[in-house]
């Protein structure tokens, strides 16, 4: 079965679901890497893309709960359920009073059954490897020679190089408590007194961008290539 | 996410109720962020940043998705992981995220903590 036929089969499934449950106002299916596979005729392309972007922003941070299986948003006027179905995700928007049991049946039975049937004759997406991360304490680099790079222990950089099979780790992504993120160049800590203390030394302007101060914790990981 | 119109006294009650939340079976901990302060109580403190970042992302994404689908003010956001889930909601100008095992009935928890 080619990709178009696969998408048509899924689109028809979503249309049938809406016929059975008129409370469902919109539905679509996308892959783990964000590719939208199929949507019902009410699914606006911009809405689907923005939803997938928002969903993926959480997925990237969901390791502490064992990856994201589902996101349920209950609003004043309606609800949106995004649920993992096999290797894909199903998004359903429904009215406030939509039958939750029916929605669960759709998520857990109908769509998985259709996907299983289709996947038995088409390949599934390849999972993406995530980079390791570390919690480090912020130390401020100030002065004329502060530069634009952050500094962390060479042991950490070596460990990441080995895990990711990369010669060097040149850039890192930093996430702060408040959700701010920054990507910047990284070097090893050059002050021997500060080595092995689990700190990240960062220029003041990076600290300001992340809204963090000396002594606060941040999460650091190598940027994806 | 627009703030709800609960009186501040109720927020204080919620804060009081949260003090013993970890005694409830299956509860991992909570984060409560106000405009000028944050209360954090997690069984595993090494995961504070991870949970805080996840919580912030949940609010941001929940708000964005709510606007896309025009479902109005967000009441609750639930993130479900492999065996853990997170319940997030806004209380006046505070953002609350409770981390728990998947088996915990979060609707009942809301009632128990007077969050509904």
Domain shared by A150 and A109, yes or no: no
**Chain B residues touching A74 at Cβ < 8 A:** 74-78
Q: What is the pLDDT of residue A72?
A: 93
Dihedral Cα B27, B33, B38, B41, nearest 10 deg = 0
Q: What is the pLDDT of residue B63?
A: 94
Q: Cα A197 vs. chain centroid, distance in angstroms? A: 30
Give yes or no for residue A73 having a pLDDT over 90.
Answer: yes
Is B71 an interface residue toward A (CB < 8 Å)? yes
| Residue A124 domain-assigned (yes or no) | no
Give yes or no for residue A56 having a pLDDT over 70.
Answer: yes
ipTM of this complex: 0.89
Residue B17: pLDDT band (50, 70, 90) is: confident
Mean pLDDT of the region A133-160: 86
Domain shared by A28 and A87, yes or no: yes
Task: Give the long-range contacts of residues B10-16, CB within 8 A, separation 24 or more.
Answer: B10/B91, B10/B114, B11/B91, B11/B92, B11/B94, B13/B114, B14/B91, B14/B96, B14/B113, B14/B114, B14/B115, B15/B39
Domain shared by A112 and A138, yes or no: no
Q: What is the pLDDT of residue A165?
A: 81
Give yes or no for residue B116 having a pLDDT over 70.
Answer: no
- A 10 A CB-CB count for B22 gives 14
Domain shared by A101 and A203, yes or no: no
**Chain B residues touching A175 at Cβ < 8 A:** 49, 53
From chain A residues 134-193, the ones with a CB under 8 A of any chain B CB are: 135, 175-179
CA distances from A61 to A6, A73, A153 (A): 30, 18, 23
Contact A218, A175 (CB under 8 A): yes
Q: B8-112 maps to which CATH number?
A: 3.30.450.30
What number of H helices and E strands is found in chain A? 6, 11
Q: What is the mean pLDDT of chain B?
A: 86
Domain containing A143 — which CATH number?
A: 2.40.40.20
| Residue A82 domain-assigned (yes or no) | yes
- A 10 A CB-CB count for A214 gives 13
Give the Cα separation of A198 and A151 in Å (integer): 11
Q: What is the pLDDT of residue B51?
A: 92
Contact A125, A187 (CB under 8 A): no
Domain containing A16 — which CATH number?
A: 3.30.450.30
Per DSSP, the three-state class of A167 is: coil
Q: What is the pLDDT of residue A124?
A: 53
Give the Cα separation of B10 and B12 in Å (integer): 5
Q: What is the pLDDT of residue A43?
A: 86
Q: What is the pLDDT of residue A53?
A: 93
Domain shared by A88 and A148, yes or no: no
* Beta-carbon contacts of residue A25 (< 8 Å; ≥ 6 apart): A42, A78, A93, A94, A95, B69
Mean pLDDT of the region B62-86: 94
Of B71 and A106, more confident: B71
Domain shared by A9 and A108, yes or no: yes
Q: What is the pLDDT of residue A128?
A: 45
Number of compact structural domains in chain A: 2
Give yes or no for residue A125 having a pLDDT over 70.
Answer: no
Contact A133, A221 (CB under 8 A): yes
Q: What is the pLDDT of residue A2?
A: 61
Give φ, ψ of B36 to 5 degrees.
-125, 0
Of A123 and A13, more confident: A13
Q: Which of A119, A149, A164 corresponds to the end of one domain?
A: A119
Best residue in B28, B50, B116 for a mutation probing chain A (most A CBs within 10 Å)? B50
For chain A, what percent of residues have pLDDT higher than 90?
Answer: 33
Contact A37, A10 (CB under 8 A): yes
Give the Cα separation of A22 and A15 in Å (integer): 10
Give the Cα separation of A157 and A8 in Å (integer): 47
Best residue in B46, B53, B86, B116 for a mutation probing chain A (most A CBs within 10 Å)? B53
Contact B116, B110 (CB under 8 A): yes
Dihedral Cα B60, A26, B99, A32, nearest 10 deg = -80
Q: Which domain holds residue A213?
A: 134-222
Give pTM, 2 decimals.
0.67
Domain shared by A105 and A166, yes or no: no
Domain shared by A105 and A146, yes or no: no
Domain boundaries, chain B: 8-112
Q: Which of A85, A119, A153 corresponds to the end of one domain?
A: A119
Q: What is the pLDDT of residue B2?
A: 46
Of A78 and A110, more confident: A78
Give the Cα separation of A223 and A184 in Å (integer): 9
Give yes or no for residue B3 having a pLDDT over 50.
Answer: no
Q: What is the mean pLDDT of chain A?
A: 85
Of B77 and A42, more confident: B77
Domain shared by A109 and A144, yes or no: no
Q: What is the pLDDT of residue B86?
A: 96
| Residue A140 domain-assigned (yes or no) | yes
Q: What is the pLDDT of residue A127?
A: 47
Domain shared by A93 and A164, yes or no: no
Domain shared by A20 and A94, yes or no: yes
Q: What is the pLDDT of residue B7?
A: 62
Among residues A36, A107, B96, the alpha carbon closest in space to that of B109 is found at: B96
Domain shared by A94 and A157, yes or no: no
Q: Which of A119, A145, A180 corresponds to the end of one domain?
A: A119
């Amino acid at each position: 079965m080619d990709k178009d036929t696969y998408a048509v089969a899924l689109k028809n499934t979503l249309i049938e679901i809406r016929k059975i449950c008129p409370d469902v106002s919109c539905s679509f299916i996308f892959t783990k890497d964000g590719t939208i596979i199929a949507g019902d005729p009410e699914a606006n392309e911009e809405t689907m893309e923005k939803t997938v972007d928002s969903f993926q922003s959480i997925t990237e941070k969901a390791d502490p709960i064992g990856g994201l299986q589902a996101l349920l948003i209950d609003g004043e006027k309606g609800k949106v359920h995004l649920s993992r179905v096999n290797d894909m995700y199903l998004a359903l928007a429904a009215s406030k009073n939509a039958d939750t049991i029916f929605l669960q049946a759709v998520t857990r039975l109908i769509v998985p059954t259709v996907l299983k049937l289709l996947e038995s004759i088409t390949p599934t997406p390849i999972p993406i490897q995530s980079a390791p991360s570390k919690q480090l304490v912020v130390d401020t680099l100030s002065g004329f020679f502060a530069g634009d790079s952050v500094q962390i222990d060479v042991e950490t950089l070596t460990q990441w190089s080995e895990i990711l099979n990369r010669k060097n780790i040149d850039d890192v992504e930093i996430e702060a408590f408040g959700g701010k993120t920054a990507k910047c160049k990284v070097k090893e800590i050059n002050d021997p007194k500060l080595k092995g203390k689990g700190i990240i030394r960062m220029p003041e302007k990076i600290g300001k961008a992340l809204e963090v101060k000396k002594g606060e914790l941040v999460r650091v990981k190598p940027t994806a290539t | 996410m627009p703030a709800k119109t609960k009186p501040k006294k109720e927020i204080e009650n919620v804060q009081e109720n949260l003090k013993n939340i970890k005694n409830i079976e299956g509860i991992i901990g909570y984060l409560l962020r106000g405009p000028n302060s944050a209360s954090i109580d997690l069984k595993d403190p090494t995961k504070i940043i991870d949970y805080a970042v996840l919580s912030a992302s949940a609010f941001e994404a929940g708000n964005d998705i709510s606007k896309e689908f025009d479902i109005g003010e967000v009441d609750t956001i639930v993130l479900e992981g492999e065996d853990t889930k997170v319940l997030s909601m806004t209380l006046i100008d505070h953002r609350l995220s409770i981390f728990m095992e998947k088996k915990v009935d979060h609707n009942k928890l809301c009632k128990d903590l007077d969050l509904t």
